[in-house]
């Protein structure tokens, strides 16, 4: 689709800005509702995520003693900003990315990680025991899933010979879907996204029965609301990325809708299937199984690219 909107409108309303925030809240609702139904609960009403955010924004923000005040206020803003910036390079809603340049995949993945970094810093900034433990866990978890997640996204990129998200998106639609060509990469990407978003069973960094809310224990009001919106938008961006890479690209908004919702259904099912992994189990899982799986996949892709010119029917996919 080639709509020409003024950059300001693109940034503030569509596809960035407000619509992006709204879609984050909608996807949070769908996720919560699905998990609730899997657990035989009724689940929240459709406006609950919005109501939560409004309530949090209206509440007083308590700045605890012993924190670096500027950092405490600044971190949620940086987190949300980086996530919103990442959205500009991703084919949100099946539209062409607002901005794009060769190699924007790396920038996007980096911007998405900034969220976790901010959460880790926010936890380390306070003196609260729960926050400190949560921050340690959040950063530990980041170091375990980050590499496999990036490698999983690189699989299609290398196979297609471009590191530009927009080009990968349009090329993925013309090829065999990468979920079939690179199943391990798909699994690693979906599970990596769950780790990124600290969804169960990878919710050790915010395990409510152990460390209350983890790194964000001391946050209330505006800061917490910004972090929450950031995470919701990150969910949408992550789903979009995986759908455009592995599910044959996103050609139009309808494509976007059904592919991301199916992915969301899968993650919701995974969320309700397992018990929470301890942080050492998470790290073990990623480095012992996840990384090796993805590395083998990558090796196959590279080898496939080398021998593809020799065998004509392999030239698509890798």
Partner 1 sequence: MGAEKKPEKFVVSIGPQHPALKEPGHFEFAVEGEIVTSATARLGFVHRGMEKGTESRTWVQNLYLMERVCGICSAVHAMAYAQGVEKLAKVEVPPRARAIRQLIAELERIHSHLLWLGVAAHEGGFDTLFMLSWRDRETVMDLLEAITGNRVNYSANVLGGVKIDIDEVKSAAILKGMDFLEERTRHYMKVVTEDETFLGRTRKIGTMTLEQALRLGSVGPTGRASGVPYDVRVDAPYAAYQDFPVNIVTDTAGDLEARFVVRIKELYESYRVIRELVDHMPAGELTTRIPRRIQEGEVVSRVEAPRGELFYFLKSNGTDMPERIKVRTPSLCNWGSILATAVGHRLADMPMILAGIDPCFSCNDRMILVKRGNDQTVWTWEDLRRYGIEYYK
Residue with smaller CB distance to partner 1, 192 or 248: 192
| Residues 6 or more apart whose Cβ sits within 8 Å of residue 239 | 27, 193, 260, 263, 264, 267
In our burial notation (b when 16+ CB lie closer than 10 A, e otherwise), range 124-144 reads: bbbebebbbbbbbbbbbbbeb
Min. distance of Cβ 268 from partner 1 in angstroms? 11
Distance between CA atoms of residues 67 and 65, nearest Å: 6
E strand or H helix at 144:
helix 129-160
Residues near partner 1 (CB under 8 A): 38-41, 129-130, 133, 200-201, 203-204, 207-212, 272-281
**CB atoms closer than 10 angstroms to residue 283:** 18
Residue with smaller CB distance to partner 1, 37 or 69: 37
78 touches 141 (CB < 8 A): no
Min. distance of Cβ 289 from partner 1 in angstroms? 12
Min. distance of Cβ 178 from partner 1 in angstroms? 28
DSSP 90: S
Min. distance of Cβ 140 from partner 1 in angstroms? 9
Min. distance of Cβ 137 from partner 1 in angstroms? 8
């Amino acid at each position: 689709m080639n709509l020409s909107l003024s950059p300001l409108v693109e940034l503030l309303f569509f596809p960035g800005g407000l619509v992006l925030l709204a879609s984050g809240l909608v996807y949070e609702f769908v996720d919560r509702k699905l998990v609730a139904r899997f657990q035989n609960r009724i689940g929240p009403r459709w406006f609950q995520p919005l109501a939560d955010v409004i309530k949090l924004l209206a509440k007083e923000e308590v700045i605890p003693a012993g924190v670096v005040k500027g950092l405490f206020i600044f971190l949620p803003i940086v987190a949300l900003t980086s996530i919103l910036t990442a959205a500009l390079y991703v084919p949100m809603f099946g539209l062409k990315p607002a901005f794009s340049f060769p190699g924007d995949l790396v920038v996007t993945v980096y911007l998405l990680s900034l969220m976790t970094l901010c959460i880790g810093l926010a936890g380390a900034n306070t003196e609260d025991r729960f926050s400190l433990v949560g921050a340690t866990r959040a950063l530990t978890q980041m170091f375990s899933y980050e590499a496999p997640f990036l490698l999983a996204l690189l699989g299609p990129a290398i196979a297609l010979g471009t590191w530009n998200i927009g080009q990968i998106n349009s090329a993925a639609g013309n090829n065999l879907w990468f979920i079939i060509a690179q199943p391990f990469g798909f699994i690693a990407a979906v599970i990596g996204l769950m780790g990124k978003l600290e969804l169960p069973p990878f919710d050790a960094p915010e395990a409510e029965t152990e460390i209350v809310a983890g790194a964000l224990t001391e946050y209330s009001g505006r800061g917490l609301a910004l972090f929450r919106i950031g995470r919701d938008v990150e969910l949408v961006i992550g789903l979009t990325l995986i759908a455009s890479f592995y599910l044959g690209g996103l050609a139009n908004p309808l494509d976007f809708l059904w592919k991301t919702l199916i992915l969301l259904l899968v993650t919701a099912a995974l969320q309700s299937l397992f018990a929470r992994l301890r942080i050492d189990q998470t790290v073990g899982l990623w480095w012992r199984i996840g990384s090796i799986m993805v590395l083998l996949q990558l090796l196959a892709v590279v080898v496939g690219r080398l021998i593809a010119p020799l065998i004509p029917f392999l030239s698509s996919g890798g």
